[in-house]
Amino acid sequence: AQSVSQHNHHVILSEAASLELGCNYSYGGTVNLFWYVQYPGQHLQLLLKYFSGDPLVKGIKGFEAEFIKSKFSFNLRKPSVQWSDTAEYFCAVKGSSASKIIFGSGTRLSIRP
Amino acid sequence: DAGITQSPRHKVTETGTPVTLRCHQTENHRYMYWYRQDPGHGLRLIHYSYGVKDTDKGEVSDGYSVSRSKTEDFLLTLESATSSQTSVYFCAIGGDRANYGYTFGSGTRLTVV
């Protein structure tokens, strides 16, 4: 069965700090991987996705993620965060032959101005 | 996103009453999903549909039923609402096209009193 673990429940950073949010998944086959962002009071929006090819994926707003197959990881990174990045971030995995995406429990990111 | 709408946006209902939430899409996706979002639990899949009249259970399906009589609409019914079903409900479409993630609706905030 698919599962996703996000180990950091709440991360607090100052503006301009670098960000890395951890995501590990469990699935015994080829996967599609996603990061979604949810700004306060809003719905989930796709930040970036990995289907195949270059394991370093660039998304919107300066975010990127690296798929490391040997570690079953898909960590999200941003070199310099802004106050507007305050949001909740969800990692998700879908087996390439599966019909549904499974989400992690989310990481709340708070940025101090 | 414009291609998926949920109604109502907010609802307060009494314990024991039936409630129906509607998800409407204009993107012609075969797959539609209902999730609930609760603090500390991320998004949990309630039910999903892979075609007209074709539905299946997710991980938290007890107390919920769904119907899909046409491609555009996916209805979620709480047969007899309980306080534990107070949550934010999100509909999503996607997962049936190559290199496509999910698109989420704006959510329905349901309070059961």
pLDDT tens per residue, range A50-79: 998 999 999 999 999 999 999 999 999 999
A chain contacts of residue B99, beta-carbon cutoff 8 Å: 49, 51
Counting one residue from chain A and one from chain B, the pairs whose CB atoms sit within 8 A come to 51
Chain B within 8 Å of A94 (Cβ-Cβ)?
yes
Q: Identify residue B89 by its one-letter amino acid code.
A: Y
Q: Please, which pLDDT band fits residue B98 given cuts at 50, 70 and 90?
A: low
Answer whether residue A99 shows pLDDT above 60. yes
Residue B100 has pLDDT above 80, yes or no: no
- CB pair distance less than 8 Å for B105 and A43: yes
Inter-chain CB proximity A32 and B96 less than 8 Å: no
What's the rounded Cα separation, in Å, for the pair A21 and A16?
Answer: 16
pLDDT in tens, A7-46: 899 999 999 999 999 999 998 888 899 999 999 988 899 9
**What's chain B's average pLDDT?**
92
Determine the average pLDDT of the residues in B17-38.
95
Between CA B37 and CA A30 the distance in angstroms is 27
In this prediction, residue B13 carries a pLDDT of 97
Given a cut of 70, whether residue B99 has pLDDT beyond it is: no
